[in-house]
Structure 1
Amino acid sequence: MAARDHCLSLVRAVDRPTGAARYGRMFPGLHPLGTDPQLLTRAGESGGVCDAAAFLDRIGPDGDDAAEAAGWPFFGQLIAHDITADRSPIGAGVDPEALRNARAPKLNLEMLYSDGPIGSPFLFDLHDPAKFLLGPDGGDVPRNQQGVALIGDPRNDSHLFALALHVALLRAHNGIVGWLRGAGVPETDVFDKARITLTWHYQWIVVHDFLPRLVGAELVEQVLAEGGRWFAPQAGQSYIPLEFADAAFRYGHGQIRHTYRLVAGGPGRPLFPDLVGFGPVPGDRRLDLTQVFDVPGRPPAQRAKRIDGRLAASLIGLPEQVTGVVDTAAYRSLAVRDLLRGGTTGLPGGEAVAELLGVAPLTADEVEQPWPDGTPLWFYILKEAEHRGGGDRLGPVGGRIVAEVLLGLVRADPASYLSLEPDWQPVLPAAGSGFGFADLLILGT
């Protein structure tokens, strides 16, 4: 019925890593690119090559729509929050070897459960501690008297989309609790079984729903069958490659739409500043998730923005609630922050990675922006997605990094379904022939 019991409990703190997890390099033999920070700043700031504002004048309102629904890059953001938490500054002076990850490098929903009902009791219902506590009307997380979210990861309160997905997962857990009780599971086992069940279905969604959309089903099947060529950690020895954290898995910044409709027929609103979080969500500003995810029986959702190396204006000028006080105006640009981050952590150029992987690198015309010694890996991956993935999915460099890392993390987790029961199949109800994220959304309604 639910995922079977196993000796490495997902909820006992004794099984969690001691100290911060580490970062590492996927391609340690490649030299850092070493691009001039001023050149990176000019490329990423307002008016630079990463600014989509001028490009909008040449297309219609939906002219850069991608094939997949608009919610998927936000789901990717939640995955990032689940496996990484690096709070080091973006400027110079950071030793990459000293970086520490405050998250366990596992897809285990730590961002949701934190330390469970005993270690984090403020997240759970006092009268029914097997369930998460929700806001008064069930559409928000609980908050303290100053409006600060009581939440497993405060980053999931940074904007309306991350918060809506977080709440959807809370509601899915609560729905699984009711489902298990209805099946006669003893009360002493309900929370643990509900957590394991949601976690394994989440891992399944990453492997069989999210990744095929992002990198293609063929690459997913290849890595599942053959293992990773460049990232294959042993059980319990996972780390987060910097090429993944500071380049490839920041692809989603290029998929953020210029505006979003929260409800059917509603007006279009930019992500920032209109939908910034860090406060209670009034009833008239709630997101209907069927507007950004395709759900059976509902009209098609809005689509994500095509990946083309350009970021929406709301990301080129982030609000202070997101960035904090900055001493350089350019640091309000997410593109600047992404480019500088790759320089700070010494990432190789995109062409060098492509050559190592044995794939044809992008041409100068495809990269568009001239770079003196090679293209920054983050920007290269976005342009590769534009020219090798039709703007809908990652190309061979970005796709290989993302697929190997996410599948490698699941495989190396001794408590994951791929590790314990690789032939396991989802057991929660599915509206179609296969279980997917839309089914979790339906479960939480």
Structure 2
Amino acid sequence: MTAGRLPNQAGPGDTGAYARQVSGAPAHAHGSRVAARDHCLSMARAVDRPTGAARYGRMFPGLAPLGTDPQLLVRAGVDGGVCDATAVLDRLDPGRDDAAEAAGWPFFGQLIAHDITADRSPIMGGVDPEALRNARAPKLNLEMVYSDGPIGSPYLFDVHDPAKFLLGPDGGDVPRNQQGVALIGDPRNDSHLFALSLHMALLRAHNRIVDLLREAGTAEVDVFDKARITLTWHYQWIVVHDFLPRLVGTELVEQVLAEGGRWFAPPVGQAYIPLEFADAAFRYGHGQIRHTYRLVDGGPAVPLFPDLVGFGPVPADRRLDLAQVFDLPGHPPAQRAKRLDGRLAASLIGLPEQVTGAVDTAAYRSLAVRDLLRGDTTALPSGEAVARLLGVDPLTSDELEQSWPDGTPLWFYILKEAEHRGDGDRLGPVGGRIVAEVLIGLQRADAASHLSLEPDWQPILPAAGAKFGMADLLALGLTPGSADRPA
């Protein structure tokens, strides 16, 4: 595929689909160029967007809450508990803790979570689960990147070329204010180097798509909207056809695409985020964080926290070569993600204060404790109850390696299920079903997604292989022959 044909392909660039997206709003002067039309967070017109926070809900409303003694949850999640991977490291052979997939995929999952969820209630509850509100629209629409667009969030864009995102002075960081705070659509994407690097990859991909559209003769007034839709639809494609098959298996993905969701299938315009997804299944990635990472080939191996914590400028010697965490053409295989086994790396059992903020007790610095308590405060059912409802044989006590008197917390259950039903490489039948149905169901409930508008749409951006994937998206923002330099 040549760049010159981009706007004339089927999909976000064609006249049929694109006409459904673009309003007749007048252009606005901005800097030295004509600003793009502003559709803010959605590919539908801004006036059609819901006001106020979106809601959470229940995927399995008939199941009773588990209700576990909080002290038992704390003991499981702190240093030395069943969720602490440090105690078993010396018993593992070299490489035995590596999963099949590359180390970058759980961080991509984190960005997906930031795109569709933002629960700002306190860790210890105090809020009725039914009253929880989601500060993000339940759509895979890259709201975390585009925010309110070049008019509503002009500080994200280049004043001299508002169709493009603004990058840091040398292209190796995002713009920051005079105190080092990132000027990006979602501050959570600056929490550590990997989230920030993927966020920057999306910014660069958008900017490259703008170049391709201009080279193909797209009218300047339409460039931003077409670039946004093009990137968003390719991102949605990657979630369904590259990310999900690696995480839950191709067979389950194809089944949900063909048959729809059995437990989660909201009508168009009525999407919500199930608590079983947000507070259990889609926190699987915490169990895939490696103990240490190399940022460049031959570089030192360092833990995620505190070494790679964000919320400040990225030094030149702390920049990530994306080929170290994703398998990119022309490069050696990347580092692998940690195997899923219910245990978290030490850097997550003792999170730095920059991530957690001030806490009342040291136990709250453990991400495992936070995950376990969150599932309790939002009244999630046990993993065994969900398994039985889905017609799946529950894990045995030997497989769980921990005695839970009344049932296993759903988050922990899903991690152990991945160990024993997914060989540590992917989610098992409970976790996989929840994640696949939600991520596909959210797209089908979004009137502007490609699964809703054009279910048979195919990617139109250049691909190195037979099928467009994450590696191709990352390559959009890289110079030829380099895995880490911006174009």
TM-score when normalising by structure 1: 0.99
Match of 2:226 in 1: 193
Shift of 1:17: 1.8
**1 CA distance for matches of 2:407 and 2:386?**
11
**1 CA distance for matches of 2:112 and 2:214?**
29
Match of 2:136 in 1: 103
Shift of 1:93: 2.0
Q: Look up the equivalent residue of 2:234 and give its one-letter code.
A: H
**Counterpart selection for 1:271 from 298, 304, 324:** 304
**Counterpart selection for 2:66 from 33, 37, 43:** 33
Counting only pairs closer than 5 Å after superposition, residues 94-243 of structure 1 correspond to structure 2 as: 94-243=127-276
Match of 1:403 in 2: 436
Counting only pairs closer than 5 Å after superposition, residues 286-435 of structure 1 correspond to structure 2 as: 286-435=319-468
Q: Look up the equivalent residue of 2:20 and give its one-letter code.
A: C
Residues 1:399 and 1:439: Cα distance change in structure 2 (over 3 Å): same
Q: Contact 1:71–1:292 at 8 Å: present in 2 too?
A: yes
Matched, 1:285 2:318: yes
Matched, 1:262 2:295: yes
**2 CA distance for matches of 1:157 and 1:308?**
27
Superimposed CA distance per residue, residues 284-328 of structure 1 (whole angstroms, 9 cap, x where no aligned partner) = 100001100001111000000000000000000000000000011
Shift of 1:6: 4.4
**2 CA distance for matches of 1:174 and 1:238?**
30
Shift of 1:15: 3.0
Superimposed CA distance per residue, residues 29-77 of structure 1 (whole angstroms, 9 cap, x where no aligned partner) = 0000000000000000111000001110111342200000000000000
Superimposed CA distance per residue, residues 307-352 of structure 1 (whole angstroms, 9 cap, x where no aligned partner) = 0000000000000000000011000000000000000000000000
Q: Contact 1:354–1:397 at 8 Å: present in 2 too?
A: yes
Figure out how many residues of one structure are paired with residues of the other and give that number: 445
Counting only pairs closer than 5 Å after superposition, residues 49-68 of structure 1 correspond to structure 2 as: 49-68=82-101
Match of 2:39 in 1: none
**2 CA distance for matches of 1:308 and 1:140?**
34
Superimposed CA distance per residue, residues 357-384 of structure 1 (whole angstroms, 9 cap, x where no aligned partner) = 0011100100110000000000000000
Gaps of 5+ in 2: 1-5, 23-41, 479-487
Q: Contact 1:107–1:409 at 8 Å: present in 2 too?
A: yes
Residues 1:381 and 1:330: Cα distance change in structure 2 (over 3 Å): same
Q: Look up the equivalent residue of 1:395 and give its one-letter code.
A: G
Gaps of 5+ in 1: none
Q: Look up the equivalent residue of 1:225 and give its one-letter code.
A: A
Identity %: 85
Hey, which bits of structure 1, 4+ residues long, moved more than 4 A?
none
**2 CA distance for matches of 1:265 and 1:259?**
13
Equivalent position SS for 1:249: helix
Equivalent position SS for 2:162: strand
Q: Look up the equivalent residue of 1:165 and give its one-letter code.
A: L
Name the Cα RMSD after superposition.
0.8
**2 CA distance for matches of 1:6 and 1:280?**
40
Q: Contact 1:13–1:115 at 8 Å: present in 2 too?
A: no
TM-score when normalising by structure 2: 0.91
